[in-house]
Structure 1
Amino acid sequence: MNYTTQMDAAKKGIITDEMKAVAKKENIEVEILRKGVAEGKIVIPANKNHKALSPEGIGEGLKTKINVNLGISRDCPNVDVELEKVKVAIDMKAEAIMDLSSFGKTEEFRRKLIDMSPTIIGTVPVYDAVGFYDKELKDITSKEFLDVARKHAEDGVDFLTVHAGINKRTIEVFKKNERVMNIVSRGGSLLYAWMELNNKENPFYEYYDELLDICEEYDVTLSLGDSLRPGCIEDGTDAPQIEELIVLGELTKRAWERNVQVMIEGPGHIAINEIEANVLLEKKLCHNAPFYVLGPIVTDIAPGYDHITSAIGGAIAASVGADFLCYVTPAEHLRLPTLDDMKEGIIAAKIAAHAGDIGKGIPGAKDWDYDMSKARRKLDWEKMFELAIDKEKAIKYREESTPELHDSCTMCGKMCSVRNMNRVMEGKDVSILKE
């Protein structure tokens, strides 16, 4: 039986190779996975032209995945530097990489990225349009925006972030509701400017059916971008954000009618007490489509530490149902991340994802923690290093401060509670002062 997309196959009862691969990784029955894909609750971003892909599933009942943002810009156009980051991100087992390139040899970088990456690859076509055509934003035509999306799909991109929800209707709501930070989405601000300069409807909204043609042909998953996401906690969960979310829910249903897979992108900067409500709203208004969040960042005061502010929000969001976390690095709001920034961002996001999986009861999520706890009780340092999410850092810290006794560390020494409890439980003496 023939099928066009993973969703089309799932609706027809077909188990694809990609479904089999994901079910094995997730340790779930493939029929459960197929049903989730058919209902739109799970996506398997897998472009037909991405030959190096090792498929991953994103959505209900699956482990929370993380995304790493990379790409060249006008100020940092070095392709080789970004490709080195790609290699490290793959080694660190990030499930997805987004190419946010906006200047220079974007096509060269994108093709090399797709050729070498087993990870899911995403892009934002509107970023690439200005450089691709070498034209000012206002002079790009609606057709040209769609043509860039087609080009990315042909190259093998697995998901496209498209800001189709910012239309004339949502702009009116935005204009009537003053914000502290206006529009902070790069794609959203570019399309808002284009619409205002040309007095036209958003081309990705007006010609959404043509966009769906492209996605159906190559089995590209649509990641519906949140143009009006809050850029500070003061703007969180406001009328423009929710109005756009309503539109994204409408666009989700239209995509599903064409068997195009959909994710919904979410905030952004959100106060910690509003995170659960935001996840609930997305799931309700967008019909349980997978939710992809940037952070969310829970306070605006920590430039240089936003990998921490986002990990706090990401862990909470994942624990209450978010499916996909976009990493944030210490360089957020400050500059393009370095390789070391990227590593810190990945570790923070992976910690958040894992903590979220424990919270929402993903089967087997706690096994890793249980094994670490057993190693700690035994004071088995080698096993602890083997299980650590960042083995190199754990070993480095241990070696920087050598304890007197191998079965302790320099924090507690002979007062180590684990060491002394082991000795007491074994009927041995506990000596603190004597040799």
Structure 2
Amino acid sequence: MLLSSVRRHLPGVLLLLLSAQPAGLKAEPELPPDGPPIRLATAIRQVLASNPELAVYAEAFRIQDGRVLQAGLAPNPTLNLSVEDALGSGSRSGFRAAEQTLSLSQLLERGARQRRLDAARAGTGLLAAEQLERQVDTAAETARRYGHVLSDQAQLAVTHEASELARRTVEATRKRVRAGAVPSAELARAEASLALAELDHEHAEHELLTSRRQLAALWGAREATFGIAEGDLLALPPLAPFEALTERLKANPAQLRLIAEQRVRDAELRLAEQRRRPAWQVSAGLRRFGDGQDVAGVFSLQIPLPVNDRGQGEIAEAQARADQVGLRRNAADIASLTQLYEWFQELKHAHTAANTLATAVLPRIEKALQQTEYAYARGRYGYQELVAARKELFEARRARIQAAADAWQFATEIDRLTGVLPAGDTP
């Protein structure tokens, strides 16, 4: 059942929606991509196929298959040979009167093999649930790092634009100083602003290089060989009602793993209870009498008497382990619901912040900058007012990028928590 859950939930991972470069911002030309562009769906498929930590599950399933095989094997029969009345005295000296018995013994497990099989198969289900949880977590981590790359690409474009504008401002200010229209102090301020803008741009370059390599590391690459990460960062993820999200918590991978663990503990408890019924041993064979050529059949049945050890301690331990999983499931359910509510509130705030910046803040700041540039050109505003207006614009643009990136990160956390990632066209 849990193996089918892996196949059912994983396609949803490949349909995650994430983001990229805002409209109107162009990638920084100083970092040309050497490889082809990449999309989120491609990155997730590559990670699920090549992630070093996920690769170990193939061997883990081989180990578990061996346990299931061993659990289903019946105990081997025993060949018994006994010699009696030998090496005595008188007529019993030597082996002349010895009785020889050859028999086969077989242990009757009385249901123990089926209980062992149930426990081993439940272990396979637990391993499948753990694999699903790790795959969903890894896909979510891929989405997070992909979003980081997209955000860094957009931030780099903003810092590049700010650097270019600062460079043009220096040239314009230099001409005005030569013409005697402004004091030379304004040129010094413009050059200082350019140096700061270039420093900010250089930092953004390093941030992008790091986030690209962190993404590539998820599929086992030592360096990032892909080009631009594609997508639409500013197309915010949908905000589903909280009640709908709580329903999706039933597919929480951690809860599925605990359900699988509960099955393991229940199977172990049944196995411990079965051991109250001790195995019987039957044997049958032939006996040859030493003082003649007569032979006769022999049969025996051994039944252990559970007088003292009836497996009480083992049963109590198995029961406690099963009860413990139930308590952990309840605690995990409350923790998941609380975490979902937190991420939901964060996503709502990120939506509000991104939309407010896009509709109420940026248009007004852009208009204010136009008016400031107009007044500056006519000498009514000084250089400081112009720089302040431009700084406000770039800070607002970067804040919008960050708010959109936050929205996608919180949406990814909700998807990871619920285990069923949203369907749709990948960017």
TM-score clears 0.5: no
Q: Which is higher, the Rg of structure 1 or of structure 2?
A: 2
Name the TM-score class by shorter chain: under 0.3
- Which structure is higher in helix share? 2
Q: Which is bigger in relative contact order (C-alpha 8 A, separation at least 6)?
A: 2
TM-score computed with the length of structure 1 as normaliser:
0.20
